[in-house]
Structures are given as structure tokens and as C-alpha cells.
Amino acid sequence: MTPETTSLDRLAGDWRIHQLVGGHRFSADDLFTAWVAAESCPRAQRLLDLGAGIGSVGLMTLWRMQPTATLVGLEAQEVSHILMRRTVDTNQLSARVECRLGDLRDAACVPEGRVFDLVTGSPPYIPLGKGVVSPHPQRAACRMELRGSIADYALAAARTVREDGSFVVCFAAADPRGEPAIAAAGLSLRVRQDVVFRGRQAPLITIFVATHEAGPCDRRAPFCIRGPDGEWTEAYFEMRRQMGTDVARPARPSADEVDVDRG
């Protein structure tokens, strides 16, 4: 991996992120996962990001936390792991962020057990055999379920989130596997936040918040990124401001901002 194959882009505030120019690049689903996570558990001190990829979800969540908060990012793919480490070094976050190379399905990768206040994840959405596998290994792993599904993320979260902590995960809104996966892991669904990307279309992604503690589920009204006129909504504009991203509203979002299949 050479400097010519990567870009250094704004992530949150003055934090920057290293990304492959032709590989997986962080997208709106990562931003929404981090936003809901930070809103759900704003005083979290110990954060864990499962399948951390290049670090976008975990780092954006950490940016919203107190300066004493720490993050463990667990990622199985070496190229993404290296990029996250590079991002941590660039932003001088090594005292707060630990990058681990390992498979989230392996409990030995997080031997601490149930100590994390907040666990996040943005798993791939497409089972093998249901879509075209990208020839780019990094993009393929971010889109296809090559190393487990949301069920594996939920099981890993159940092993690692505190009894009074929260698990926040992004999934495809139309896929029925999300809620049963959370229940099968012994967790209770507490929030469902659907996200609409374009006007009156159906939601494309949803953000789940789950806990060990049982309780009612807040099924929130869909969050709309763009209205029927194609312009950003005031709610999305405000969310981006809260997350330290660009506050100047363009006429149309960029390709990266509407990329939800990560392929």
C-alpha cells in the first residue's frame, strides 16, 4: 500500500481518516451508526467496535465522547487494520485507541468479557450466493458475509457489552434477520431507527440499539436524509453538525455519502 493508493479525508472535527482510493470508503451508514451510538450512551468510557474496518464507526463515536473514553477496534482484514492504525497515528490517538487484528467470532480476541459500556458494529448485509462478490478483497469483505453475519455480531456483543451497556448495530432495513439475530443472542431490542435516503422511498438501513436489560422498544419515525426535492433535510444537516462533519450544505451529497452497499 503506497501513498498514491490512499487518500486522507475528513472524518469528524479535525480528525482525518486514511482510505483506499479504489477500496472500501466510509459511508452514511457508518455515520448514522456512530450518531445513534453516541446519542444512546453519551457517557460511555470503554468502547468496542466489532468488525471495525478502517475505523470509521468506532472513531466517529469516540469523537463524540469525553476525552477520557477509550476504544478497541477489532478487525479481521489486515489491509483495513493497517489503515485504522495509520489513522490512529495521524490523529495522535494511540493513548485512547487500540487496534486489534482478529475475527470477532473468536471470543479470545476480546478476552476482557463484559466490560464495555458501548459496543458498535456495521456488518456486511449480503449472504454469500445472494450477490456478486467484488474482485477487490476489501470491498468484498465489507459487502458480503464472508466472516459471519449480524447474528455473529450480536453474539460477540452479548459476550462483551456490560449488563447496563448498549450494543448499536447497522443493518439493511428490509432484511428480516436483524431483530431475530439480536433476540437469539439473548439481547433485548430497545431502539429501531430506520433511515430513508431519498424522498418518499422506503428505508434502506436501520440502526438497532440492544441491551442485556429487557424493556420496551422505541420504534422511531424514519430519519430522512433528503426530501422529495433532493435537498438535505434540516434534521440531517443538524446531525452532521453534531458529528463534526461538513456544515456547509451542498446541493447534492457526494457518492461516498450515499454508498450503503459498500461494494
Q: Per residue in 196-224, pLDDT tens?
A: 999 889 999 999 999 999 999 999 999 99
pLDDT of residue 236: 95
pLDDT exceeds 80 at position 126: no
pLDDT exceeds 60 at position 93: yes
DSSP-H helix ranges across 51-203: 56-63, 78-90, 137-143, 150-160, 178-184
Nearest of 93, 24, 89 to residue 61 by alpha carbon: 93
pLDDT band for position 142 (cuts 50, 70, 90): low
Q: What is the DSSP letter of 45?
A: -
Query: Is 48 exposed, middle or buried (CB count within 10 Å of its CB: 0-12, 13-18, 19+)?
Result: buried
Query: What share of the chain has pLDDT > 70, as a percent?
Result: 84
Cell numbers given for 143: 459487502
User: What mean pLDDT do residues 21-36 have?
Assistant: 90
pLDDT band for position 191 (cuts 50, 70, 90): very high
* CA–CA dist 68, 19 (Å, integer): 27
Helix axes 234-242, 28-40, angle to 10 degrees: 70
* CA–CA dist 184, 235 (Å, integer): 33
Output the average pLDDT for the chain.
Answer: 89
Beta-bridge partner residues of 99 = 73
Cell numbers given for 55: 475505523
* CA–CA dist 124, 262 (Å, integer): 8
* CA–CA dist 44, 231 (Å, integer): 34
pLDDT exceeds 60 at position 9: yes
User: What mean pLDDT do residues 171-199 have?
Assistant: 96
**Are 246 and 202 a contacting pair, CB within 8 Å?**
no
Q: Phi/psi class of residue 51: alpha, beta or left (left: φ > 0; alpha: ψ in -120 to 50)? A: left
Cell numbers given for 231: 435537498
Domains and their CATH numbers in the chain: 3-258 (3.40.50.150)
pTM tops 0.85:
yes
